[in-house]
Amino acid sequence: MMFETNPAQSAVSVPKVELRDISKTFSGDVETVRALTNISLSVAAGEFITLIGPSGSGKSTLLNLIVGLSEPDSGEINIDGEKYDRRADKVAYMPQRDLLMPWRTILENVIIPLQLKGIPDAQAHTQATELLPLFGLGGFASALPFHLSGGMRQRAAFLRTILMEREILLLDEPFGALDALTRRELQDWLLELWRRFQQTVIFITHDVEEALYLGDRVIVLSPRPGKIIHTLEVALPRPRRQGMIALPDFGRQVTELLDALGVAI
């Protein structure tokens, strides 16, 4: 034989993010909280995963583990097939409460990741300024955050996350605090962004419709300790259109998710 080939390598593509049997417990002075138990999940490159579960089911904890802010008690987290000890290099993380610095202008807020990379201010300003219109923030470079609507502030926080230029986006309930119309607008805007930049996305929500509308796959966590109790491959074509939420197919999948969440229907 002339070449040794590794069939596993050539036939199967390596998951972008792989969680193997992850468990996480928090030990406090008074009580011990089991937050996550036996979580296994493979996310393909370019896939859009939505993660849904009741409050306290460990959703935020899971993202913290993936980004490397804390370590699991047991199990393994691989990125691109490697046990990565500098995961933060590949991951952009937008935590549940992502605040802009109130004393910095919008432009000064969004260039923070570029400054952290050591890019000179003038170049960072040019690069970010070019992107502001795409994020619906053209003309607001020198505004302070309190001058902007909630939706605009959220888009600024997103732009800051995107400027980290990572292949993996972890978003923790980014639209949770927005009114319904702004939320729909931002959902479509996020999907367009994802289509352009083709990142791998893990998106947390507590909204069943949002989970379906955005995701390729919806992962459902149980109440604490969180474990995966249901996986739904979303049967909706792309590009998604808001009108799809009125389709019988959509309603059927909403029912399936509510059922998995144990919500009486």
Site for Mg ion, rule CB under 5 A: 59-60, 96
Q: Which helix (H) or strand (E) holds 132?
A: none
Among 33, 88, 131, 144, binds ligand ADP (CB under 6 A): 33
Among 37, 61, 105, 222, binds ligand ADP (CB under 6 A): 61
Task: For the CB of residue 216, give the shortest distance to ligand ADP in the complex, in Å.
Answer: 21
Binding marks (x or -) toward ligand ADP, 194..233, rule CB under 6 A? Answer: ------------------------------x---------
Task: For the CB of residue 45, give the shortest distance to ligand ADP in the complex, in Å.
Answer: 25
Q: Is 35 in the site for ligand ADP (CB under 6 A)?
A: yes
Which does residue 56 bind out of Mg ion, ligand ADP, none, counting CB within 5 to 8 angstroms by kind?
ligand ADP
The crossing angle, in degrees rounded to 10, of helices 121-131 and 150-162 is: 120
Q: Which helix (H) or strand (E) holds 130?
A: helix 121-131
Amino acid at 185: E
Which does residue 61 bind out of ligand ADP, Mg ion, none, counting CB within 5 to 8 angstroms by kind?
ligand ADP
Nearest to 136 by CA among 158, 121, 168: 158
CA–CA distances in Å: residue 224 to residues 56, 258, 259: 6, 17, 17
Give the three-class secondary structure for 29: coil
How far the first Cα of the chain sits from its last, in Å, is: 61
Residues making contact with ligand ADP (CB under 6 A): 26, 28, 33, 35, 53, 55-61, 224
